């Protein structure tokens, strides 16, 4: 089977197959790849032909490639094909009409032939399972149908095949519809677009759109592509992308995204992302690939259900041996636990993810819903998550004797930072501009160290600007002469930047980044949810960190934390046996997000953070974090309820068949009704309308 790498970051590679593959192929690949030294975990989604390999040793990827190159030949000899999900149409009720109204009017030979023809596929699949020594659900169904035919009970055989076929159709249809419904909340509902070509306006199919076209979008219409506004001005509602209900002004040079809507005005857009390259389609791809992240609880229930099949066979054989009554034996065989569990569990997961989309919480798979329900520790990065990521200069303190005043320090800081896109750099540049300070480039090439600072040459002198750790420990600048000022500014909760020239401290820039108004309330809400451990990580010094943590009600924090320290902290908490949720939004948070059991980022987080995160909060505030945890817990409660109902009811039906109270046909009917009931329960909203 041909696989092509589609995404690769250190520790994880995702590959795509040329075509879909079945669940047994998935198991085959997962088992084989997991045996390779250095590969930590393998996840496969046959319906979309996706394979994700988590590894700790780079060389293991070569062994994985060699294994995949030989996998097709082995698969052909071991694994049967799977029915494609796309073939699942809406279940029809006509077979029931034919069975109950038309069948009784047909001659007996026709009824017998019809029952036998319908039974053959089930008997064939059951025989194949038994031939491979598999006591699974197909073996169970095939045996029950065969017994009915051998007893010449053609009416029961016909009813059984009718119900089994209907159950298969219902399973495929509900699963397909659930995935489609989830994706439909994001999809762009447009197949044509107005464009300007050669000075003329024309309506063309979206598939014919090129990046040379100008797309015209007027009031009330959805934007069909990602792009940049080339002409015009409009108010755009971006709630489908950001969760923000208020329209925002977009004019020439601004970026716009597919799926958003022009509320007022008219714009012409130069496309940058068409179809599958658009950001909204990337979100839909997350949804379509979500089954890749199957919840562990689903796998556990499926294994438990499979283990019950040999028990059912044994019980039916015992009944036949003791009573000689084939009717009772067939009734026992027609009750299995797996149908409801295999269908209801993924439906509950999809329902929870669907509700998350409605509540502006994107959960990328069932595995993460389960982890959300288990989270007992939440780790926050401070800047940009607990704060508004809109820093401003609060105070500038020159060091006496350097000959630099406040304006000179700010001018030099802006000069050093003007080439960098991060919020602090933008803030320094804007502050200099607000003061009317010209900061023409007077330095040579700048060296930028992520989350630390910058270093350069200015008028022949070595200049550094950054955190205390960078300036003091890495660059050897003595900060002690200004310690009283550092103490004062830190106690007020300011974040500090240190400017050093030729190894000596020249000045301090105190910045204030306002806390998000909902941050403190979220910490209290997490406590009510039973989150036992909340920690804040920050690059600020101890005093600033203590002041901020005190305002938020956070009792545990780590100061002067480097990016690699964040990931190490998360790993340490996991080694203590905690289930860790990490919330961060920057590039330097990505290692920690990957290390956590659940990585969570914000809608406006860095691209890398959104890629590695398991949950993306698409709303306007942090309250979505608590919503995500509630969704996870609610989904797992729903699954456990369905599990208990399935086990209790099917056990009662099993007892009914065992003691001759239920006929095979009635056992099959009750079993399918139970399956339908738990599936409908699984698809109900997880959270109430009001929280």
The catalytic residue positions are: 381
**Cβ atoms of 413 and 428 closer than 8 Å:** yes
Residue 45: what are its φ and ψ, rounded to 5°?
Answer: -130, 100
Pairing of strands 39-45, 192-197: unpaired
Residue 264: what are its φ and ψ, rounded to 5°?
Answer: -155, 135
Q: Report the C-alpha gap between 67 and 64 in whole angstroms.
A: 5
- Token digits of residue 95: 């077979």
Exposure string for 388-426, b = 16+ CB within 10 A, e = fewer? ebebebebbbbbeeeebebebbbbbbbbbbbeeebbbbb
Q: At what angle do helices 366-374 and 296-323 cross, to 10 degrees?
A: 100
Q: Report the C-alpha gap between 400 and 391 in whole angstroms.
A: 26
Q: Report the C-alpha gap between 603 and 625 in whole angstroms.
A: 12
Residue carrying the six token digits 């089930």:
122
**Cβ atoms of 169 and 161 closer than 8 Å:** no
Taking the alpha carbons at both ends of the chain, their separation in whole angstroms is 48
Residue 412: in which H helix or E strand, if any? helix 406-417
Q: Report the C-alpha gap between 119 and 124 in whole angstroms.
A: 9
Instruction: Report CA torsion sign: 130, 133, 139, 143.
Output: positive
Residue 57: what are its φ and ψ, rounded to 5°?
Answer: -125, 125
Pairing of strands 50-55, 392-398: unpaired
**Cβ atoms of 328 and 657 closer than 8 Å:** yes
Q: Is 63 left (phi over 0), alpha (psi -120 to 50) or beta?
A: alpha
Q: Report the C-alpha gap between 566 and 609 in whole angstroms.
A: 14
Number of Cβ atoms within 10 Å of the Cβ of 647: 17
Q: Report the C-alpha gap between 411 and 428 in whole angstroms.
A: 9
**Cβ atoms of 621 and 360 closer than 8 Å:** no
- HEC letters along 54-74: EECCCCHHHHHHHHHHHHHHH
User: How does DSSP assign 1-28, residue by residue?
Assistant: --EEEEEEETTEEEEEESS---HHHHHH
Residue 215: what are its φ and ψ, rounded to 5°?
Answer: -85, 130
Question: 486: which residues sit within 8 A by CB, 6+ positions away?
Answer: 479, 496, 508, 541, 543
**Cβ atoms of 591 and 607 closer than 8 Å:** no
What is each CA distance from 66 to 70, 338, 405, 662, in whole angstroms? 7, 36, 64, 54
Question: 334: which residues sit within 8 A by CB, 6+ positions away?
Answer: 141, 144, 160, 657, 664, 667, 668, 671
Q: Which is nearest to 540 in space by CA: 562, 565, 518, 523? A: 562
**Cβ atoms of 75 and 28 closer than 8 Å:** yes
Number of Cβ atoms within 10 Å of the Cβ of 482: 19
- Token digits of residue 248: 């925002």
**Cβ atoms of 497 and 511 closer than 8 Å:** yes
């Amino acid at each position: 089977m041909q696989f092509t790498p589609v995404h690769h970051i250190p520790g994880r590679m995702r590959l795509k197959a040329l075509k879909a593959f079945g669940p047994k192929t998935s198991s085959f690949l997962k088992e084989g790849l997991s045996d390779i030294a250095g590969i930590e975990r393998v996840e496969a989604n046959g319906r979309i032909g996706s394979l994700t390999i988590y590894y700790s040793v780079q060389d293991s990827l070569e062994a994985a490639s060699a294994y995949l190159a030989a996998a097709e030949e082995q698969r052909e000899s071991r694994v049967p094909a799977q029915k494609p999900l796309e073939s699942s149409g809406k279940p029809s009720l006509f077979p029931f009409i034919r069975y109950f109204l038309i069948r009784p009017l047909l001659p007996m030979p026709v009824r017998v032939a019809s029952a036998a023809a319908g039974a053959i596929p089930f008997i064939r699949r059951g025989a194949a399972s038994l031939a491979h020594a598999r006591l699974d659900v197909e073996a169970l169904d095939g045996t029950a149908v065969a017994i009915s035919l051998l007893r010449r009970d053609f009416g029961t055989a016909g009813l059984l095949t009718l119900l089994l076929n209907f159950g298969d159709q219902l399973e495929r249809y509900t699963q397909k519809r659930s995935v489609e419904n989830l994706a439909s909340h994001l999809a762009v509902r447009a197949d044509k677009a107005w464009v300007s070509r050669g000075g003329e306006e024309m309506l063309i199919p979206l598939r014919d759109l090129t990046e040379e076209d100008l797309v015209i979008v007027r009031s009330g219409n959805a934007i069909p592509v990602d792009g940049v506004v080339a002409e015009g001005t409009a108010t755009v509602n971006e709630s489908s992308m950001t969760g923000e209900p208020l329209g925002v002004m977009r004019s020439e040079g601004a970026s716009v995204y597919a799926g958003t809507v022009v509320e007022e005005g008219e714009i012409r857009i130069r496309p940058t992302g068409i179809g599958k390259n658009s950001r909204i389609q990337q979100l839909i791809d997350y949804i379509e690939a979500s089954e890749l992240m199957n919840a562990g609880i689903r796998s556990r229930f499926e294994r438990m259900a499979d283990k019950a099949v040999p028990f059912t066979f044994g019980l039916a054989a015992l009944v036949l041996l003791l009573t000689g009554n084939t009717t009772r034996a067939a009734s026992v065989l027609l009750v299995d636990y797996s149908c409801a569990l295999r269908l209801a569990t993924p439906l509950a997961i999809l329902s929870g993810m669907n509700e998350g989309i409605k509540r502006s919480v994107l959960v990328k798979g069932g595995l993460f819903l389960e982890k959300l329900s288990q989270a007992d520790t939440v780790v926050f990065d401070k800047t940009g998550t607990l704060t508004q990521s809109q820093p401003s200069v609060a105070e500038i303190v020159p060091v006496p004797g350097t000959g630099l005043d406040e304006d000179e320090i700010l001018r030099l800081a802006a000069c050093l930072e003007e080439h960098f896109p991060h919020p602090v750099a933008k803030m320094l540049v804007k502050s200099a501009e607000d003061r009317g300070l010209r900061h023409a480039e007077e330095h040579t090439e700048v060296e930028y160290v992520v989350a630390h600072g910058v270093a350069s040459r200015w008028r022949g002198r070595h200049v550094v600007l950054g955190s205390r750790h960078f300036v003091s420990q890495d660059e050897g600048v003595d900060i002690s002469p200004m310690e009283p000022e550092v103490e004062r500014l830190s106690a007020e909760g300011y974040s500090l930047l240190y400017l050093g020239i030729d190894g000596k401290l020249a000045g301090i820039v105190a910045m204030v980044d306002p806390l998000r108004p909902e941050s403190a309330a979220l910490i209290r809400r997490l406590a009510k949810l039973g989150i036992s451990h909340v920690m804040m990580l920050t690059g600020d010094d101890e005093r600033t960190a203590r002041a901020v943590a005190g305002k938020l009600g956070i009792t545990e924090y780590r100061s002067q934390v480097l990016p690699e320290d964040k990931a190490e902290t998360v790993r340490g908490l996991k080694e203590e046996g905690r289930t860790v949720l990490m919330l961060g939004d920057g590039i330097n948070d990505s290692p920690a997000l990957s290390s956590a059991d659940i990585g969570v980022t914000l809608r406006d987080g860095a691209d890398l953070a959104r890629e590695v995160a398991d949950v993306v909060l698409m709303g306007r505030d942090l309250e979505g974090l608590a919503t995500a945890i509630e969704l996870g817990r609610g989904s797992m409660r729903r699954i456990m309820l369905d599990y208990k109902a399935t086990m209790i009811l099917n056990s009662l039906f099993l007892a009914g068949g065992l003691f001759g109270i239920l006929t095979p046909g009635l056992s099959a009917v009750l079993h399918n009704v139970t399956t339908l009931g738990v599936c409908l329960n699984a698809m109900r909203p997880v959270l109430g309308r009001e929280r």
